[in-house]
Chain A
Amino acid sequence: MKYIPVMVQRLASSRRSVYLIFISAAAIILGIPVPPPAISATERYIRVEASMYRFSPEQIFVSPGERVTIELVATDVKHGLYLDDYGLSLEAEPGQPARETFVATRPGVYRLRCSVPCGNLHPFMLGKLQIGPNLALLRGSLLGAMAIIIALFPRSAPQMSRQKHFPNGTD
């Protein structure tokens, strides 16, 4: 057991090993499956108002398994609503709302996008739909913390004695 810290220090002292540790840990953190959340079989009705260049509400939170009906209401010009990954697509003109229902089976954070050119800021007209907990943020924070810990691990050879690469003494 007493050799473990020495081994870790040796591993961390090599630049290649540090990157290898980082990539392996990143693959685990980003790819590790999480147990499926509890499914809630309730119905939700959400009215989304679209105007230049915003959706209202801007952020929607639903539970996994919910049967969600989105009604898109355009309040100024024609707008669209496209839900990333779910492929849900709606188009509404003022006075002519559109609605569609889907089951929120896949937890995660998805963007709502306007799918009908509505003006100069159209490409940036976005909203957010969060199904269950924000695992992406959790994984990202974990990865960031791990990256900082790896970088803080001391290396054995002092950096100052390193040989410079170019004849004029620079890197």
Chain B
Amino acid sequence: MNKKNLQFQRKVLPKSPTSIHGLDEITGGGLPNGRPTLVCGGAGCGKTLFAMEFLVRGATKYNEPGVFISFEETEKELTANVASLGFDLDSLVKRKKIWLENIRVERSEIEQSGEYDLEGLFIRIHHAIESINAKRVVLDTIEILFSGLPNPHILRAELQRLLGWMKKKGITTIITAERGEGSLTRQGLEEYVSDCVILLDHRVNDQSSIRRLRIVKYRGSTHGTNEYPFLIDEDGFSVLPVTSLGLNYFTSDERISTGIPRLDTMLSGKGYFRGSTVLVSGTAGTGKTSIAAQFVVTACKRKERVLYFTFEESPGQLIRNMCSIGINLDPWVKKGLLQFHATRPTLYGLETHLTTSIKLINQFEPSVVILDPINAFVMGENQTEVKTMLLRLVDFLKMKRCTAFFTSLTSAGENMEISDVYISSLIDTWLLLRDIEIGGERNRGLYVLKSRGMAHSNQIREFKLTNNGIELLDVYVGPEGVLTGSARLSQETKDEAEQLLRQQEIGRKQFGLERKREAMEAQIVLLQSEFEAEESEALKVIGIEKARNERFIQDKAKMAKSRKGDIYIKTVGTKKNK
């Protein structure tokens, strides 16, 4: 049903893909095919570039040749300006993919006498379209005509005729216009171009500039209505439609090690989920970066790629510092598995940070991305914006199945859970590092504040940075509370002594028992032998008595025989009877 609907929609309104990163997603496929689109915005907001990229991509990717009518820049200037973006206009022009035409109007040279029309412009555009069989046309700032030619009434009528004519020809057209006071364009061109209006904006917030794009209207099509940040860099235009992505990303059951065996155990034995978002927050010097570095090394050992955004340390400094705790990142950088990207958060606006990050992630395709630290972005009261940015980034990373690892610096004294609460909802696994001060000592404690989808440990572990990386130890929990550091050590030795004592006691008791058993067994043997002696004596006596008795009977029989009396017979008879 849904698919049918889509197909139906496409039939009604075919679209020309722009191939501008992100724009096709917002517009649901591109600009309206065969219709004019108005791109307006102030000076320097990228109108010309937008239009040029539309043409160049159309010519190179979709085999739709394009005509660029420039009212401001000459062909040479245009070619030079976009060469920096990697567009080779000269070659495209030679191959008849692009037609550049500069239309120059200078007010001072022109006098009007009587009625005129813009047939000349029509013919030139027509000629250009025919020459290369163009499907796309750009009129880069057609409003220049208003300052160049007299009689705006004629101009308006003529422009309307021009747009109607282009529409009839089925040419996808971009018209650029300067933004006017209180209206979208200075000359009210939006009245004529009713199919699609895109507004580009370039503003400065807190000394950093942000470029934004908004689709003001798009007749006959649904579109993203937000203001989307965009970026112009060496690859041209990219728009970030990240908020439109939704939450339907792939979820993985795969677990990946944290690089710290005991931390794995705390996270129900297996570590983080792949593609989850991990936050390590803590006060200064609690070892956030070290946990990150340990994670990096483990990921690299699995031959996964890691992109490390560092906002406070330079890569060199970071590598050196990690070496001191036995984590060597350098080989992985050389192997190309680990890439650092170090910028100051103040270098550019949040959107630009986001766009650059996303671009880098797209280029490098890492499976682990580290942002160290994220709160470097928070300056003044921009927490909501930071959250939005991170939300976009997290969504993007989830879509890419990247495991995101953020660190966050909380200032001492603050309630740590609260100070990071603005991003809490984005985080799947949240580790908290804190200082534990006991007995004139400051030690590090680590615990899992939350970890979605796993039975994680509720224990605080002592967190130690050793020469061989990170070690987690049990903290001493006893009647005296949680002990760490030397307090824990002394308590542990005390406990050990006590245990030894108890063991000795047990040993002694066991020994005594053994002795008793031996004594008892000896007695048993003695009694048995006594009994055996008595028994054999008794058996002997019985034997003698038996023999004597026999003898007596035999003697009696003999006597009776010798007397020859009937007693013998009788005895014999009794014997027989018996």
Note whether A and B form a binding pair: no
Residue positions of B touching A, CB distance < 8 A: none
Residue positions of A touching B, CB distance < 8 A: none
